[in-house]
Each structure stands twice: as structure tokens, then as C-alpha cells.
């Protein structure tokens, strides 16, 4: 669905779903339809535009509805069905006559705004979720792959007119373009394409412009630069990759991939002696708003770069271990590595990423070895080597990868009070314990038909590694279950409650649950 809410009190004004809701599939452990709205909603001139779809081999729907009523009524409103071969994902852009739709791994699609008809995809360049539409209707998009590049094309001919290797993000004004690459922040003259200035910045993720200040989000840092000269105004450490930036009412909000939000307040400064006062956002107002403790900022802080995400070519294998190493993630921040040696050898493993290194060792000689890697950062590529004795001489294995992008471990259950009355909950706790014992299923997906107010979901999630999906026919019960599980910190991460018309027939796909 696309939803419209009253901004003052959050009341639902309307919702609209163009596709069928005949089946739900699992995505990141949660049931979703085959037609989720992945473009956000673009509202312009009284019309709300959005697209619903998931797979290129399935149909996708482009919708233009009345922003007040949520219905496709009136001139320029429609629901257009694309049978296949398109995948609309990412924020929509609109010019006076065209819509620009990101498509993930392939170049953006150009559509006629009035009817939704295809003009076709851009002819060159890669995919990516970053798309920008300039005043002269040029489309800038990227990054094309993990190493990054940004392409610039005309929207009318769809031909590429420029490319920027290594580009991660870009901001365009009438006269200038500001480019954030893997290693630098640069200002370009749009008429001559000549570089006005360039300053080093490692690991850039996001870029915005507010007034005459450029804000850059990077790996474990956020910084501000003067847009005219490129002078660095300030830099502040943050916990995680700063991939969300927004400025409003003199305040900079920064969100990171570690579920932390920072707020930087503005203070009044004078540009020159006797000059007029202006507000500038400074690092001195940094306030931690997210759930992570402040000590984690320094305890786990070390440099990371975009190159962490690029796999280096393997060196020729040296078979010095008869078994392993084998790595298994056991929780969102921990992995266990196991291996064997032919002879007795101390345990010694060195883990590193750019600018950071740690060695874990146990001196007692043995043949079977095990090491726990703790405090791992998400979406980071680590490399580790193992040192051992072979015929009494020290040898080192080739580097192995620990890529936390592939850590699908369930989030830990937060320590919060039980949201249900204790006497009633004790009986359900015993029931959940018996169910898990009798079935011997303690991980995977569990579906509960008729979950009521969610009490049994709470106990099953707490006592297992299951993702628990509850189905309930009563809307009041669904609302009560969601509210209670949200207070417990389990809703969305470990539990989900879905409304159904009847418990005898659900829209979950087959072979979904364990």
C-alpha cells in the first residue's frame, strides 16, 4: 500500500494498493506482498505518484492518484500495469513532462508523466539508488557498482553526456556541481566542467548542500565544508556509516547504519568583523539520540573505507591446514572460526581491516582450534590469517574473509519488562517451553494461527531463535498485539502480526514455516 496520514495526529486518511494481495513471501524474515511500494511517494501539483513491484519477471504497477482522495480519478491520474522486465525501486523524480524511476542494478527508466507510458531506460551507465534531476532535465545517477561511478544523461534523448568514475553522490546547483568520490570532495564548474577545488575525504557515503555549507556523511564521521572554497569547517565522529543526512530549521540530523541518530544544532556566527550574523551548524551541538550507549562510539571506533567492500584477488592457495578454517556467525556482532592443524600448535588468529588490527591467541598447543571474533561491525569486510607451527617452523595462511554483510543472525532480545500481566503469562510460558521441546524446532520461521494479543508470540521468540509470525482475524486484537510486542522491543525484528479475513485461509506462501 501507499498510505496518507494526517500530519497533526497520525490518522489514516487513505491507503491504496494497485496489485493483488493473494500471496505473501518472506523478505528479510518478514512476510511481504509481491507488490511492495519501493519508490516512496512523490506528491506534486495535487497528484501522488508511486510504483508497486518486486520482481522483474512479475508485473509492476505505476500509480498516479489524487493526493486528497487516494483514487486514480481525473486527468493525469492512472494505474499503469507493466507486464514484466521492469523493477521500480528508489525515490521517483518528476519534471514538467517526465517521470524518472530508479531500477536498482540497471539504468533508470524514463516515463511520460501524463500517461505513465515508457520512453525507455537511459542508454548508458549502471544502476544504483542515487538519482538526481537538474533544472535543465539532465539525469544524474549512480553509483554504478561497489567501486562507484556516476553517469549524466539527457532525459529527452536518454543519451549519456558525461561520467564521473569513483563517484558516490552529487549535488547540483545552477552553476556548480559538487561531487563526492571514494577519496575526495570536489566542486566543478557546470559550464566548463573544470574543477574549482578539491579536498581529500576518505570513505564518503552521502552529500547534501544547505545554504553555503556542504555536509558529508562518511565511515564513522560527518563533516562540514564551505561550498565556495572547500574549506573544512568541522568534523565529528559518529558510530557507523553516516548514510542519512537532513537539514531543517538550523538543525542537522544524521542517521547511521548502526541505528544511531545524531542531532547537530546551529549557533550564530559572524562572517566578518562588523558583518551580518548568520546561523551555522557546528559540531559542538552533537547529541546522541539513538539506542546505542555513548561509550560504544569510542570503544568500537576505527577507520573504514569503501575499499572494505571490494574483494581483493586471491593469492595462490597454500594448503597448510588439513581442515578449515570455517566461519559461522552466531549473533549480529560475533562469529566463531574453527580449524585443525596436523600437529600440535598454539592458537593464533589475526583479524584486521583498514587501519585496525587485533590478534587472538591461546598458548596451549592443540590440534583442534576455535576462536570467537567479537564486536564485529555490520556491512564490513574483515580479513584474518592463522599462524601455526609446521615441523616446528612458524607458517601463516593466506588471508581469509569475514564479510559481515552476510551475517543474517537474529538481533538480540532487549532486556525490557514483560508487557503482559505476570499470572496469565506464566501458563503461556510453560506452553511455549513444551511446544519447543516437543517439536525440537528452535530456529527458522514459526506461524501462529489465532495469536490473540501476542502473548504466545512473546514467549516463543524469547525462548528460541525463531522468527514468529502471528495471524489474527480481529483488527482490535492485531492492534493490541502489535502495541505490546513493540513495547517489548520484539515487533518487526523477531515478531510480526498480520490481519487475515479468516484463519481457515491465509495468503502466506507454501513451505514458509518450520
pLDDT of residue 66: 97
Q: Quick one: 251 and 179 in the same domain?
A: yes
- Report residue 93 as a C-alpha cell: 523524480
Instruction: Out of 116-120, 286-290, 420-424, give the one with best mean pLDDT.
Output: 116-120
Strand partners of residue 279: 268
Q: Quick one: 281 and 179 in the same domain?
A: yes
User: Is residue 322 classed as helix, strand or coil in its secondary structure?
Assistant: coil
- Please identify, among 279, 307, 335, the residue that sits at the C-terminal boundary of a domain: 307
293 within some domain:
yes
388 within some domain:
yes
**pLDDT over threshold 50, residue 397:** yes
What mean pLDDT do residues 464-489 have?
A: 91
Q: Whose CA is closest to 123, among 109, 113, 111?
A: 109
CA distances from 164 to 130, 188, 227, 316, 470 (A): 13, 11, 19, 34, 48
pLDDT of residue 178: 95
- Rounded Cα distance between 82 and 509, Å, is 23
Q: Quick one: 182 and 260 in the same domain?
A: yes
362 within some domain:
yes
Q: Name the pTM for this structure.
A: 0.72
Residue 442 is part of which domain span? 422-499
CA distances from 93 to 49, 69, 179 (A): 9, 22, 20
**pLDDT over threshold 80, residue 58:** yes
- Rounded Cα distance between 301 and 303, Å, is 7
CATH number, domain at 236?
2.40.128.630
Q: Quick one: 428 and 489 in the same domain?
A: yes
pLDDT of residue 287: 44
CA dihedral 437, 439, 442, 443 (to 10 degrees): 180
> Edge to edge, what strands does the sheet with 465-472 contain?
443-449, 465-472, 495-499
Q: Give 121-153 pLDDT, tens digit per residue.
A: 998 877 777 788 888 888 988 876 555 678 888
Place of cell 500471496: 23
pLDDT of residue 150: 83
Count CA atoms within 13 Å of residue 32 on its CB side. 16
514 within some domain:
no
Cα-flanking dihedrals φ and ψ of residue 168, to 5°? -110, -35
* Confidence band for 225, pLDDT divided at 50, 70 and 90: very high
CATH number, domain at 441?
3.40.50.150
Q: Quick one: 367 and 324 in the same domain?
A: yes
C-beta neighbour count of 46 within 10 angstroms: 11
207 within some domain:
yes
Contact 259, 265 (CB under 8 A): no
Q: Quick one: 263 and 189 in the same domain?
A: yes
pLDDT of residue 301: 39
User: Is residue 44 classed as helix, strand or coil in its secondary structure?
Assistant: strand
Cα of 290 vs its chain's centroid, Å: 16
C-beta neighbour count of 313 within 10 angstroms: 4
147 within some domain:
no
31 within some domain:
no
Length of the chain: 514
What mean pLDDT do residues 447-455 have?
A: 91
More confident residue, 59 or 291: 59
pLDDT of residue 204: 86
Q: Quick one: 300 and 345 in the same domain?
A: no
76's enclosing H/E stretch is none
53 within some domain:
no
Instruction: Out of 265-274, 284-293, 340-349, 389-398, give the one with best mean pLDDT.
Output: 340-349
- Please identify, among 363, 381, 406, the residue that sits at the C-terminal boundary of a domain: 406
Q: Quick one: 381 and 351 in the same domain?
A: yes
- Rounded Cα distance between 477 and 285, Å, is 43
CATH number, domain at 390?
2.60.40.10
More confident residue, 205 or 209: 209
Q: Quick one: 303 and 325 in the same domain?
A: no
**Taking each helix axis from N to C terminus, what angle separates 455-462 and 422-439, rounded to the nearest 10 degrees?**
50
What mean pLDDT do residues 18-33 have?
A: 78
Task: Name, in order, each residue with C-beta under 8 angstroms of 10's C-beta and a sequence gap of 6 or more.
Answer: none
* Confidence band for 289, pLDDT divided at 50, 70 and 90: very low
- Please identify, among 372, 406, 440, the residue that sits at the C-terminal boundary of a domain: 406
Contact 446, 496 (CB under 8 A): no
Q: Quick one: 303 and 172 in the same domain?
A: yes
What mean pLDDT do residues 422-448 have?
A: 87
Q: Quick one: 448 and 345 in the same domain?
A: no
* Confidence band for 318, pLDDT divided at 50, 70 and 90: low
* Confidence band for 49, pLDDT divided at 50, 70 and 90: very high
Q: Determine the straight-line distance between the first and last CA of the chain, rounded to whole angstroms.
A: 28
Q: Quick one: 340 and 295 in the same domain?
A: no
Q: What percent of the chain stands above pLDDT 90? A: 48
Count of domains forming the chain: 3
Cα-flanking dihedrals φ and ψ of residue 333, to 5°? -125, 10
C-beta neighbour count of 271 within 10 angstroms: 11
Amino acid at each position: 500500500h501507499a498510505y496518507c496520514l494526517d500530519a497533526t495526529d497520525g490518522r489514516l486518511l487513505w491507503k491504496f494498493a494497485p496489485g493483488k494481495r493473494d500471496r505473501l513471501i518472506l523478505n528479510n524474515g518478514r512476510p511481504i506482498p509481491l507488490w511492495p511500494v519501493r519508490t516512496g511517494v512523490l506528491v506534486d501539483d495535487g497528484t501522488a505518484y508511486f510504483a508497486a513491484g518486486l520482481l522483474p519477471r512479475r508485473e509492476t504497477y505505476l500509480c498516479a492518484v489524487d493526493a486528497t482522495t487516494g483514487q486514480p480519478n481525473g486527468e493525469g491520474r492512472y494505474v499503469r500495469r507493466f507486464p514484466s522486465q521492469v523493477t521500480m525501486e528508489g525515490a521517483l523524480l518528476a519534471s514538467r513532462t517526465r517521470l524518472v524511476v530508479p531500477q536498482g542494478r540497471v539504468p533508470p527508466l524514463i516515463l511520460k508523466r501524463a500517461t505513465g507510458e515508457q520512453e525507455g531506460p537511459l542508454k548508458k551507465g549502471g544502476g544504483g539508488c542515487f538519482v538526481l534531476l537538474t533544472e535543465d532535465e539532465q539525469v544524474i545517477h549512480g553509483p554504478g557498482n561497489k567501486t562507484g561511478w556516476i553517469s549524466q544523461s539527457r532525459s529527452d534523448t536518454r543519451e549519456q553526456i558525461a561520467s564521473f568514475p569513483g563517484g558516490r553522490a552529487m549535488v547540483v546547483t545552477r552553476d556548480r556541481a559538487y561531487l563526492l568520490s571514494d577519496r575526495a570532495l570536489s566542486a566543478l564548474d557546470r559550464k566548463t566542467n573544470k574543477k574549482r577545488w578539491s579536498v581529500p575525504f576518505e570513505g564518503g557515503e552521502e552529500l547534501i548542500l544547505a545554504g553555503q555549507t556542504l555536509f558529508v556523511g562518511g565511515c564513522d564521521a560527518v563533516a562540514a565544508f564551505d561550498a565556495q572554497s572547500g574549506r573544512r569547517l568541522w568534523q565529528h565522529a559518529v558510530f557507523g556509516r553516516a548514510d542519512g543526512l537532513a537539514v531543517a530549521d538550523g538543525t542537522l540530523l544524521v542517521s547511521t547504519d548502526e541505528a544511531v541518530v545524531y542531532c547537530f544544532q546551529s549557533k550564530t556566527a559572524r562572517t566578518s568583523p562588523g558583518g551580518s550574523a548568520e546561523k551555522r551548524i557546528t559540531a559542538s551541538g552533537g547529541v546522541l539520540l539513538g539506542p546505542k550507549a555513548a561509550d560504544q562510539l569510542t570503544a568500537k571506533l576505527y577507520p573504514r573505507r569503501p575499499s572494505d567492500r571490494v574483494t581483493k584477488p586471491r593469492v595462490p592457495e597454500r594448503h597448510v591446514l588439513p581442515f578449515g578454517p570455517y566461519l559461522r556467525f552466531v549473533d549480529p556482532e560475533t562469529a566463531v572460526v574453527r580449524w585443525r592443524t596436523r600437529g600440535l600448535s598454539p592458537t593464533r588468529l589475526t583479524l584486521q581491516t583498514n587501519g585496525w588490527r587485533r590478534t587472538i591467541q591461546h598458548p596451549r598447543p592443540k590440534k583442534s582450534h576455535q576462536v570467537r571474533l567479537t564486536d564485529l561491525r555490520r556491512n564490513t569486510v574483515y580479513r584474518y590469517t592463522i599462524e601455526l607451527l609446521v615441523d616446528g617452523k612458524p607458517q601463516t595462511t593466506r588471508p581469509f574473509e569475514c564479510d559481515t554483510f552476510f551475517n543474517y543472525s537474529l538481533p538480540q532480545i532487549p532486556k525490557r519488562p514483560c508487557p503482559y500481566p505476570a499470572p496469565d503469562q506464566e501458563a503461556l510460558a510453560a506452553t511455549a517451553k513444551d511446544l519447543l521441546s516437543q517439536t525440537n524446532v528452535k530456529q527458522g520461521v514459526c506461524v501462529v494461527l489465532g495469536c490473540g494479543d501476542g502473548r504466545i508470540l512473546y514467549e516463543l521468540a524469547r525462548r528460541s531463535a525463531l522468527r514468529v509470525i502471528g495471524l489474527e482475524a480481529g483488527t482490535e486484537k492485531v492492534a493490541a498485539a502489535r502495541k505490546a510486542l513493540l513495547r517489548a522491543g520484539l515487533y518487526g525484528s523477531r515478531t510480526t502480526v498480520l490481519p487475515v479475513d479468516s484463519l481457515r485461509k491465509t495468503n502466506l506462501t507454501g513451505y514458509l514455516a518450520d
